[in-house]
Structure 1
Amino acid sequence: MNKIKEFVIDYELIKKFDINALQKSLILPIYEDDVYSYCAVCKKSDITFAKKCFFNLTSFINIKEEEVLFYLSDFDTRYELYLLYKKSLENLKENSQNHIDKFFKLLLEFSIEKRASDIHIETNEKHLFIRFRIDGKLKHIISFELVFYKVISSIIKLKAKLDITQYRKALDGRINEKLNENSYDFRVSILPTISGESIVLRILDNKSIKKDLKYLEFSKSIYNSLSNISNLTQGLVLVCGPTGSGKTTTLYSILKSFDLDNKKIITVEDPVEYKLDGITQINVNDKLDVSFSSVLKNILRQDPDIIFIGEIRDKLSLQIAIQASLTGHLVLSTIHSNSALNSISRLLDLNSQSYLLSSTLKSIFYQRLVLKVCPDCGFKGCKNCNYTKYQGRTAICEHIKIDEKMSSLIAKNSSNCEYKTYLDSKDYEDIYFDAKNKVKKGLTTLDEVYKVLGFEDEI
């Protein structure tokens, strides 16, 4: 457990010292009162330096070296957040939103700067915690007194046009903010907890997706297979994997490769994650009776060439996907599974008729995201990678092309053993093969691959 999250770090205290000296000595001041000073240190810290700088420094909070450096990094932003937090509490009686407005905007800007995908605002009996999800992992950013919780909860509800007096039921909303000349959407989810509320803001970049397939760092064979999807005119193509494995990004990059001027492309998503000119995008909204099922039932009347279904989630969505494929449409979608081969079983579990599936399914891609070795510090740890030694993520992938033999096996509802025997005869390159090649190139590490996939001999 991260011990430091249970303390409100006094960044005004830190400002009294030279940041470079604190970083070199690996000393993190936390706070001081009239009697004692409190600091966090690690095994390599210069304790002698700390005792010269602080009065009555009798005990220390022991944390990791990278945590000391992380909480001393981005000091100007952290200091400004701390000041605005203090001013927001001081001005509560004046009912002024000025300071909390500035705090919230700075927090959003900080999350964008740190490449976060989500902002988590949580509470316990004593504190409010703010964490960012960066490269798929949650990272504690800063803590405040619990009294600040209602202040920040209220500003978020106001901006999302939600009831600020409601603390006992789940709320969903959306916020749009212009930050550093760019427009961003934030999807807001609020859930009541035993200690207050859990607030999560998903960051949705309001700009069109810029990543073409060639920039997604797929291996040459996977890239070629993905590129060839644009040559298909009908059938079902699936990208599978768990939540947060980059499936939607891959599919949108495929969509960008089509001739958008001469194709009618419709997407059905919950919610729309990327905006792309030239295609018709439908945001599912049950409150407005624009449900997943109602949209799918009517989608073929729109005369589409290509349909992107955000997720094959049930029997109905699979039926619509197969029906559209059989009637001359190309359908792209995602499904949750733990391998490309396993997705066939998942589809059959949804009561798909095997002979229909065999005639429509064209390609299955299974992908995961692994952390990339930080290019700025050579695996030593630096500010750009938040002292984690990793920065950004890259996809590892496997691909099953449904050829005549695979189609025949699906039609016969064959066993996994029969599929594997055939794939082995073709020297099938699974996701471990792709991952190990990226390790050889120095893009990631074996430790990271095994954290994401598990050990090969255990699967």
Structure 2
Amino acid sequence: MPDEPSPQDLAYFLVEAGLVSPEQVEAARAAAKEGESAVDVLLAQGVITPRDVAVARSLQLGLPLIDLKRHVVQPRALALIPEEIARRYHAIPLDIIGGELIVVMENPQDIRALEDISLRAGMRIRPALGVREDIDEAITLYYKSRGEIERQIDQIAPEPTALPEAPRLTPEEVAENPVSRVVELILRQAIRDRASDVHIVPDDGLLRVRYRIDGILHDALEVPLSVHAPLISRIKVLAGMNIAERRRPQDGQFVFVGDHGEVDVRVATADTVRGEMAVLRILDKSLSLMELDELGFLPEAMEAYERLYSLPFGMILVAGPTGAGKTTTLYATINRLDREEFNIMTIEDPIEYQFERVSQIQVNRQAGITFATGLRAIMRMDPDVIMVGEIRDQETARIAVQAALTGHLVLSSIHANDAVGVLFRLVDLGVEPYLVVSALVGVISQRLVRRVCEHCRMMVEASPEESRVYEEEMGTPLTHFYKGQGCHFCADTGYRGRTGVFEVLTLSEPIRRLLMDGASADEIREQAIREGMITMRRDGMIKVREGITTPREVMRNVYTIQ
């Protein structure tokens, strides 16, 4: 019978975590040379990995283990510790939370390192564990990006003072300027941080660069305001926009080659009282496609939607505001269809993901290819399934309806407040009600809500307002619910990741008759609920009951105007 490892021994926690057996530990002790531990032998033999050791040490010390590949190092924290110190102690500052600097370290018990880092930062240190290889890789990645951006900016603007009148630059001057490298570095870092948008905003005395990650904006960089003009001009050149026009809003797009392939970048600019701002939407083609099962559909909603996209013809519309995940739902639907049996064609702006066995057409207004003209062309290509990126105007709406009426399954997105609102949106676009009820078979309306962090969630008492809103939907008062308290894993927000809330409206005969008879949206909604439709707000409150999100998050994102 092998001796059990002592509770003070790191090997004990490896056994507790199920990473090794007591027999393996005993064998490693027997094989250990002078000065070696059983853990050293297990590592050398490949029985465990450095990450396994970090997991065990996390249990031993009661400290969180931070996966730096899934966390974003905040620039304000990075700026407090020189790269030399970070490399010396294999430690990287992660964030500033509650007046303390969160530092991910290989050895959080190194008192000298903790004191040195605290002295350099001028604040208290809250240590967390990390894997040495991950820490060193993150140091190289983040300090290199920050240092290179600063070096390039120094060449652009040695004096960090705002210029009274920004100089007008020619395209040739812009291309030769170090600002080109700055734009590249900003975009590369945004892609690494999984940002969906980059905001470049002039403020009093400085220029802010912000990343939107999981729907929330984070400050990424602050640079001298004198960089503003060349930075915006460079982005305009890349996007094919007019660099001389500064007052009129413009939009454009370009392809950026990131670390893992091509990324589409959509650019919009507008003049503000402090100067011209730009927003860059990042569409990373290398990200894996989500399955319908991963989007957050309730079982009843999923069953209803599966019946809809299994129909041989008709129109299905996905509704929601910008950033609600409509394209993700459409792509996940296409991924479910039989691409060998059906001829599936799409018209998109832009194409965010390329499918095998699907013919995809990119909108190109300069070449005369719009949603409407592209849809007309598709109609002559013997399609079975047609996806239209978005229905924006009367012409596209009418052609899509005609396609659905002539034996095609048409999928598209539309901006509407909720599922019932889509019916009236189509009528507003000039589609006659009798055509709407003939062509449309179903509508999905959706929003995104943040998920409660599983690492720090606790049961808390509901406020009177939260309880009232919950009771309006569910019929019973809410006394307690899960809420994240904030931790290293969620950057002290209490949320980590997002999920969808949905309502699926199937156009039954009673609903068709109501629309033809001029019924109001409330009357149609009531009929849909009687037939079993789960509204987005109810869907959200069910997810509150299941501990997935919070009442406040549902109230913030799932709104209807009635």
The TM-score, its normalising length taken from structure 1, stands at: 0.78
Superposition pairs of residues 335-374 of structure 1, within 5 angstroms: 335-374=414-453
CA contact (8 A) 1:130 1:141 kept: yes
C-alpha distance 242-89 of structure 1, shift in aligned 2 (>3 A): closer
CA contact (8 A) 1:209 1:275 kept: no
Structure 2 equivalent of residue 31 of structure 1:
none
Structure 2 equivalent of residue 263 of structure 1:
342
Structure 1 equivalent of residue 110 of structure 2:
none
Query: Which letter does structure 2 place at the counterpart of 1:394?
Result: T
Query: Aligned pair 1:176/2:255, yes or no?
Result: yes
Give 1:265 deviation, angstroms.
1.8
Query: Aligned pair 1:390/2:454, yes or no?
Result: no
CA contact (8 A) 1:304 1:329 kept: yes
Q: Secondary structure at the match of 2:196?
A: strand
Query: Aligned pair 1:292/2:365, yes or no?
Result: no
Structure 2 equivalent of residue 410 of structure 1:
515
Give 1:346 deviation, angstroms.
1.6
Query: Which letter does structure 1 place at the counterpart of 2:314?
Result: G
For 1:182 and 1:355, how far apart are their aligned partners in 2? 47
For 1:329 and 1:21, how far apart are their aligned partners in 2? 52
CA contact (8 A) 1:189 1:200 kept: yes
Deviation string, structure 1 residues 95-121 (Cα, Å, up to 9, x no partner): 997965554444223222322111111
CA contact (8 A) 1:212 1:256 kept: yes
% same residue: 33
Please point out which of 254, 260, 281 is paired with 2:360.
281
Deviation string, structure 1 residues 308-343 (Cα, Å, up to 9, x no partner): 122222222221111111111111112222221122
Superposition pairs of residues 37-116 of structure 1, within 5 angstroms: 79-92=143-156, 100=179, 103-116=182-195
Aligned-pair RMSD on alpha carbons? 3.6
Superposition pairs of residues 399-438 of structure 1, within 5 angstroms: 399-438=504-543
Superposition pairs of residues 186-197 of structure 1, within 5 angstroms: 186-197=265-276
Give 1:279 deviation, angstroms.
1.6
For 1:13 and 1:394, how far apart are their aligned partners in 2? 35
CA contact (8 A) 2:450 2:495 kept: yes
CA contact (8 A) 2:314 2:441 kept: yes
For 2:434 and 2:93, how far apart are their aligned partners in 1? 68
For 2:96 and 2:198, how far apart are their aligned partners in 1? 27
C-alpha distance 385-152 of structure 1, shift in aligned 2 (>3 A): farther
C-alpha distance 125-326 of structure 1, shift in aligned 2 (>3 A): same
Give 1:204 deviation, angstroms.
1.0
C-alpha distance 353-383 of structure 1, shift in aligned 2 (>3 A): same
Query: Which letter does structure 1 place at the counterpart of 2:147?
Result: L
CA contact (8 A) 2:376 2:399 kept: yes
Give 1:427 deviation, angstroms.
4.4
Give 1:187 deviation, angstroms.
2.1
Query: Which letter does structure 2 place at the counterpart of 1:282?
Result: I
Query: Which letter does structure 2 place at the counterpart of 1:26?
Result: G
* Length, aligned pairs only: 414
CA contact (8 A) 2:309 2:316 kept: no
C-alpha distance 21-230 of structure 1, shift in aligned 2 (>3 A): closer
C-alpha distance 322-383 of structure 1, shift in aligned 2 (>3 A): same
Query: Which letter does structure 2 place at the counterpart of 1:400?
Result: L
Q: Secondary structure at the match of 1:198?
A: strand
For 2:303 and 2:95, how far apart are their aligned partners in 1? 50
CA contact (8 A) 2:404 2:439 kept: yes
For 1:162 and 1:358, how far apart are their aligned partners in 2? 42
The TM-score, its normalising length taken from structure 2, stands at: 0.65
CA contact (8 A) 1:230 1:257 kept: no
Structure 1 equivalent of residue 545 of structure 2:
440
Q: Secondary structure at the match of 1:343?
A: helix
Q: For structure 1, which runs of at least 5 residues remain unmatched after alignment? A: 1-7, 29-48, 66-73
Deviation string, structure 1 residues 265-298 (Cα, Å, up to 9, x no partner): 2222222232222222222222222123332343
For 1:448 and 1:192, how far apart are their aligned partners in 2? 32
Give 1:182 deviation, angstroms.
3.3
For 2:285 and 2:152, how far apart are their aligned partners in 1? 29
Deviation string, structure 1 residues 145-166 (Cα, Å, up to 9, x no partner): 1122234335434544656666
C-alpha distance 401-23 of structure 1, shift in aligned 2 (>3 A): closer
For 2:156 and 2:436, how far apart are their aligned partners in 1? 62
Once structures 1 and 2 are overlaid, which stretch shifts more, 327-336 or 175-184?
A: 175-184
Give 1:370 deviation, angstroms.
0.6
Q: Secondary structure at the match of 1:147?
A: helix
CA contact (8 A) 1:130 1:140 kept: yes
C-alpha distance 121-339 of structure 1, shift in aligned 2 (>3 A): same
Give 1:80 deviation, angstroms.
4.0
C-alpha distance 166-76 of structure 1, shift in aligned 2 (>3 A): farther
C-alpha distance 168-318 of structure 1, shift in aligned 2 (>3 A): closer
Query: Aligned pair 1:26/2:99, yes or no?
Result: yes
Give 1:125 deviation, angstroms.
4.3
For 1:367 and 1:166, how far apart are their aligned partners in 2? 37
Query: Aligned pair 1:221/2:294, yes or no?
Result: no
CA contact (8 A) 2:292 2:332 kept: yes
For 1:439 and 1:163, how far apart are their aligned partners in 2? 48
C-alpha distance 77-195 of structure 1, shift in aligned 2 (>3 A): farther
Structure 2 equivalent of residue 328 of structure 1:
407
C-alpha distance 208-275 of structure 1, shift in aligned 2 (>3 A): farther
Q: For structure 2, which runs of at least 5 residues remain unmatched after alignment? A: 1-74, 87-91, 102-114, 127-137, 159-172, 458-483
C-alpha distance 113-85 of structure 1, shift in aligned 2 (>3 A): closer
CA contact (8 A) 2:247 2:271 kept: yes
CA contact (8 A) 1:85 1:103 kept: yes
Structure 2 equivalent of residue 304 of structure 1:
383
For 2:184 and 2:278, how far apart are their aligned partners in 1? 16
C-alpha distance 92-403 of structure 1, shift in aligned 2 (>3 A): closer
CA contact (8 A) 1:10 1:82 kept: no
Instruction: Name the structure, 1 or 2, with higher relative contact order (CA <8 Å, separation 6+).
Output: 1
Largest Rg, 1 or 2: 2
C-alpha distance 288-170 of structure 1, shift in aligned 2 (>3 A): farther
Q: Secondary structure at the match of 1:132?
A: strand
Query: Which letter does structure 2 place at the counterpart of 1:356?
Result: L
Please point out which of 279, 285, 301 is paired with 1:206.
285
Q: Secondary structure at the match of 2:380?
A: helix
